[in-house]
Structure 1
Amino acid sequence: MSATGLRALRYAQELENVGCVVANDMDPTAAEAIERNKAYNALCSPDKAEAISRVIPHNEDVRMVCMKHEKMFDVVDLDPYGTPSTLLDSAVTSVKEGGLLLVTATDMAVLCGNNAEVAWAKYQSYPLRAKYCHEMAVRTLLAAVENAAIKHRRHIVPVISLSIDFYIRVFVRVYTSPLQMKQTPSKLSYVFQCVGCDAHELQAVGRQQTKGNVTKYQPGVGPVVPQRCSSCGWHYNMGGPIWSDPIHDKTWVTNVKSELERNKDAYPGYGKVHALLTMASEELLDVPLHYDLHAMGGTLKATPPSFWLFKSAVMNAGYRVSGSHSNPLAIKTDAPVDVLWDILRCWVKEHPVKPQSSPTPGEAILAKEPTVIANWTRRTEAQSKAQKDGVARFPQNPTADWGPKRRAGKYREEELEAKRRKEEEED
């Protein structure tokens, strides 16, 4: 998974008090590349030679490396091409108490519901195709890591979990605690999503009740939704279970963001990293998943109000609201979906839409009178601090056609070079 070993070399040179960095890849060609890059870096940076010497290349199955290493690791970074699901068991057992586990997943088509049956096989969770699919993918991966940990009487505490470009990446700390292990079902939830209007509700897998010094662990109470959606009358799909506890540690994110701002010139990727940390720090931590304002407007066949205006109306109704790092159109709020539809009903009364010829979810929603009357008074708090300060939240991709390259093949260097020359001649 280390490929050319560049990340391992950066860890060794840029972090203090590093004993060793084990850079492993199953591909012999990659292991050779790590050795070469280690030598090149030592030649180009003689002052860093001692740090570079701490990189230990390995050509083995990473699961065997985790099991055979004489000491547990302070940090384990899993970054495979595709799913990390087969590596989680060995990874959670090889991290020190309170150590950091970093996991990347690039199989986004699977995690976002295009191949839901494959996701079930890999992650034991059923994804739903929805506007919140990228956040659901993050929560699916966290649930998979937690499920791997509890087999070994351990549990995870996420510090930051992100959907970035074409992949997701989670940073979690791993602890041993039989008590916390028992609380896992209360941190996981099933998701019910209306197929008509995309309204969603979460149902916890388990719950806990504490009386005095006695805590009882019981199944979750349900169902949390009726047979048909109360807003539009369509039926529900059920997905999950997903991680429904917070996906970020706000204190940790704020501290990292402050460190980044203090050393701005040291980070070439400052703009992108700062934007992600800013959005993560402003999210509502206790509200899993989100709505998409444009999608809700599309359901009603109406042009929705501006984000500032809509968020102001939600806040004026007495609820909290924020954006999401995973979707620039996201509305993350603790308001019931009925309140959101009431606000949009009021908007449509002021900005009428054309009658719809056939029964639709939007028609069913608009047929009801709002019980909450929208207050459109603009609130300065409805704008995030990033917006007020003019900080970029969703920077543009650096180049056109930005995305993952094709998977590394089994070519030797000569064969790969010949293939490249042939492609250049054809162009």
Structure 2
Amino acid sequence: MDNRPGDLVKEGRTKLFVIKKKKSVKGPSSRDQMPFYNPSMELNRDVSVLVNQWFLDRSKHHVHLLDGLAASGIRGIRLANELTGDFDVTINDWNSESVTLILQNVQKNSLKNISVFQKDLNYLLSERRFHSIDIDPFGSPVYFFDVAVRSVYNHGILACTATDTAALCGVYPQVCYRRYGAWPLHSVSMHEIGLRILLGCLCREAAKYDRGIEPVLSYTTDHYIRLYIQIINGKNAANKSMEQYASIPAKDIPLVIDNTGQVGPLWLGKLQKKPVLQEIRTLLSTSEIHTKHQLWKLFYLLEDEADAPPFFYTTNDLSSLLKVTPPTMEFIFERLRNKGYIVTHTHYTPTGFKTNAPLDVITEVFK
């Protein structure tokens, strides 16, 4: 990269120089030697700012934050510039082009609470420990799980992004099995299954070292899976987590027919901490975040489905199966709630709903 600083952009309250691709990319970008800026991942980074601020607000000690695979460095620089509290940020990337750009932006923003490294992430995590670790790779984060679950402090945050959704969602089941030791299922619930496989893999890795996991916030989009977990020390925490880690018959997943196989092992526990979501929404209300409208909707849906059972139905697929015209969501919710069942929206799809009602009751509502 030459010495030109590139294009100036603003995310949140942070201005920084970036290298833009000539052609815009929807979702995570492809692997490249240059640390290109991907504006479509702004929401992902906005959530990082909010979750880490929530974490800092509850910390009683100095906090070490890590942006482990920084690329353009925008996530770590935003954390350093926008968070308040007693903390420092380590930004790391193996690419010298990335490090050059990151250092330019550290200087531009006059940031004193940042350390910048050019190291293999596994090596860095084996050298140091952190209270909050963010792993946002191109592809699968699984190659960093073993050392990451050991490097994070007790009750610390481990955040990761997985963009290998074709594997996790069952398009390439053998790839998923090789990477995560679990069988996916290409179905209506494939994104939730993929998210739960990712959590299950982390649960298993942490348990090897007598550590448990507690999902704080988890969500998916068409292009990636994103999760934040807390790591909890102790055999009891590990055992409690492993109770939520199991394989299930494919036929137990809504709208799966004539499949005698198994799915998983995967995480079957809760995906969110509802009180944390409520606190993060309070932070959002006073934030200077460009994706605020999208995040209000996302957090509302995550909070709504936080206590719902795993997996979901969609009105379109269920109506197609039953050969009926799909009723409105309002009608479905009213009828199921009047019968005493839980029913919620889900962030996975606008036509999806979660419920603890058995299929025969749902069928009756649809007909």
- Does the TM-score normalized on the shorter chain lie above 0.5? yes
Q: How do 1:223-242 and structure 2 match up within 5 A?
A: 234-242=258-266
Corresponding residue number in structure 1 for 2:99? 31
* Equivalent position to 1:55, from 114, 126, 132: 114
Alignment correspondent of 2:207:
150
| Whole-angstrom CA distance in 2 between matches of 1:137 and 1:285 | 19
1:95-174 paired onto structure 2 within 5 Å: 95-174=152-231
Q: TM-score, normalised by structure 1?
A: 0.67
Amino acid at match of 1:74: H
Preserved CA contact (<8 Å) 2:203 2:242: no
- The 8 Å contact of residues 203 and 245 in structure 2, kept in 1 or not, is answered as no
Q: Is the CA contact (8 Å cut-off) linking 1:12 and 1:18 kept in structure 2?
A: no
Q: Which residue of the partner structure matches residue 368 of structure 1?
A: none
- TM-score, with normalisation over the residues of structure 2? 0.77
Change (3 A) 1:36 1:154: same
Q: Deviations over 1:219-265 (max 9, x none)?
A: xxxxxxxxxx7xxxx3433211111111000000011112212x15x
Q: Which amino acid aligns with 1:23?
A: I
Query: Quick one: distance in 2 between partners of 1:106 and 1:94?
Result: 23
Aligned equivalents of 1:115, 1:275: Cα separation in 2: 31
Distance 1:38 1:235, change over 3 A: closer
- CA shift, 1:343, in A, is 2.6
CA distance in 1 between counterparts of 2:248 and 2:229 reads 23
By how many angstroms is 1:317 displaced? 2.3
Residue 302 of structure 1 is aligned with which of 310, 314, 324?
Answer: 324
Structure 1 pair 112/235, CA: closer, same or farther in 2 (3 Å)? Answer: closer
Q: Is the 8 A contact 1:291 1:330 kept in 2?
A: yes
Mapped to 2, the partners of 1:288 and 1:198 lie a distance apart of: 10
Alignment size in residue pairs: 299
Q: Does the residue aligned with 1:74 lie in a helix, a strand or coil?
A: strand
How far 1:318 sits from its partner (Å)? 2.1
Asked whether the 8 Å contact 1:284–1:322 carries over to 2, the reply is: no
Quick one: distance in 1 between partners of 2:247 and 2:151? 30
The answer to whether the aligner puts 1:176 opposite 2:176 as a matched pair is no
The residue that corresponds to 2:72 in the other structure is 4
Structure 2 residue 270 is matched with structure 1 residue 246: yes
Q: Does the residue aligned with 2:188 lie in a helix, a strand or coil? A: coil
Report SS of the residue matched to 1:184: helix
CA contact (8 A) 1:130 1:198 kept: no
For the pair 1:13 / 2:72, whether they are aligned, the reply is: no
Letter in 2 for 1:269: T
Q: How many angstroms apart in 2 are the aligned matches of 1:27 and 1:39?
A: 19
Between the two proteins, what is the percent identity of the paired residues?
27
Q: Are the equivalent residues in 2 in contact too, given 1:140–1:242 (CA < 8 A)?
A: yes
Mapped partners of 2:190, 2:255: distance in 1: 14
8 Å CA contact retained: 1:161, 1:169: yes
Contact 2:92/2:121 (8 A) holds in 1 = yes
- Aligned residues of 1:187 and 1:245 also touching (Cα < 8 A): yes
Alignment CA distance shift 1:180-1:95 (3 Å): same
| SS of aligned partner of 2:76 | helix
**Residue 207 of structure 2 contacts residue 242 of structure 2 at CA under 8 Å; is this kept in 1?**
no
Whole-angstrom CA distance in 2 between matches of 1:116 and 1:169? 20
SS at the partner of 1:130?
A: coil
Cα pair 1:26 1:60 within 8 Å, conserved: yes
Deviates more, 1:129-138 or 1:26-35: 26-35
Unaligned stretches of 5+ residues in structure 1: 42-48, 201-228, 348-427
Contact 1:127 1:137 in 2 (8 A): yes
**Residue in structure 2 matched with residue 260 of structure 1 by the alignment:** 284
> How many angstroms apart in 2 are the aligned matches of 1:235 and 1:87?
33
Deviation at 1:76, TM superposition (A): 0.3
CA RMSD of superposed structures (Å)? 1.8
Counterpart of 1:64 in structure 2 is: 123
Query: 1:9, 1:182 → 2: CA distance?
Result: 37
Q: 1:284 to 1:73 in 2, by over 3 A?
A: closer
Q: Distance in 1 between matches of 2:90 and 2:215?
A: 24
Q: Contact conserved, 1:290 with 1:330, CA < 8 A, in 2? A: yes
1:408 matched residue in structure 2: none
Give the C-alpha shift of residue 282 in structure 1: 0.8
Is the Cα contact below 8 Å between 2:301 and 2:345 reproduced in 1? yes
TM-aligned CA deviation for residue 331 of structure 1: 1.5
| Contact kept in structure 1, 2:188 and 2:255, CA below 8 Å | no
Change (3 A) 1:333 1:14: same
Counterpart of 2:277, as a letter, is V
Equivalent residue runs for 1:28-427 within 5 Å:
28-41=96-109, 49=110, 52-69=111-128, 72-194=129-251, 198-199=254-255, 234-261=258-285, 263-264=286-287, 266-344=288-366, 347=367
Describe the shift of the 1:76–1:235 C-alpha distance in structure 2 as closer, same or farther (beyond 3 A): closer
CA contact (8 A) 1:280 1:324 kept: yes
Whole-angstrom distance in 1 between the partners of 2:302 and 2:259: 33
2:90 is aligned with 1:22: yes
Gaps of at least 5 residues in structure 2 are 1-68
CA offsets 1:284-324 (integer angstroms, 9 cap, x no match): 52401111121011112321111111222222222110011
| Residues 327-384 of structure 1: per-residue CA shift (max 9 Å, x gap) | 111110011122212333xx2xxxxxxxxxxxxxxxxxxxxxxxxxxxxxxxxxxxxx
Report the alpha carbon displacement of residue 155 of structure 1 after superposing the two structures with TM: 0.8
